[in-house]
Structure 1
Amino acid sequence: MTEFMEHTDNIVNYRNLLDLSDNSITCIHEVEFNRLSNLSRLDLSDNSITSIQENAFNGLTSLTRLYLSGNNISSIQENAFNGLTSLTRLGLSGNSITTIQENAFNSLSSLQYL
């Protein structure tokens, strides 16, 4: 699997943990997870993610933990984490981040650990 598009149709919305680590995902597109509003933890670590589009996680209003460690992320786009108002932990270690756009973390008002 190189992209995550259209695979959320088979995921039951009442689950609160989704582990997609080690799946060769390369990109997170806009609003791919918007149907998973009850999700509290999402693990996308150890994939091959190079980019996260604006609003990629919009709709995940219950998400408290997001793990993106061990990917190939080099830049974080403006509003990449838009809508993650409940997020308390964001894991970005093991990436080669060189650019963080202004307002990339704007909506992360509950963030405690980065």
Structure 2
Amino acid sequence: MSEISTCTQLAPEDAGNRSALTWWVSRTPEGVPEARHRAQEAMRRWGESGDRAETAALVVTELVANAVQHTTGRRIRCRLVRTADGLRVCVWNRGRARVPAPARPAHPGAVP
């Protein structure tokens, strides 16, 4: 089993002023809003609001939705790391990537 990891750094990360939160959600459609809510709560606790908090929540939502759609593991791990200069958003799934099958043409001989 492989681990699929996606990290998005919203600003440079450094060694100072770190706060971090790691949590798990199920790899189901219900896991997506749960992950978003937890990201929003973390940002609120850290005193972040407005555009930065919404951007973090959106990134978490997109990464978790991709993991739900394109991987096979049962759970998804999310992590936010806050630094003096920015925020790092990571999403992991211990499963295999599901590569979608190519679309079939509607008519024989047509190009998809």
User: Under TM normalisation by the shorter chain, which class is it?
Assistant: under 0.3
Higher RCO structure (Cα 8 Å, ≥6 apart): 2
| TM score, norm. by length of structure 2 | 0.23
Higher-Rg member (1/2):
2
Could you say which structure has the higher helix fraction?
Answer: 2
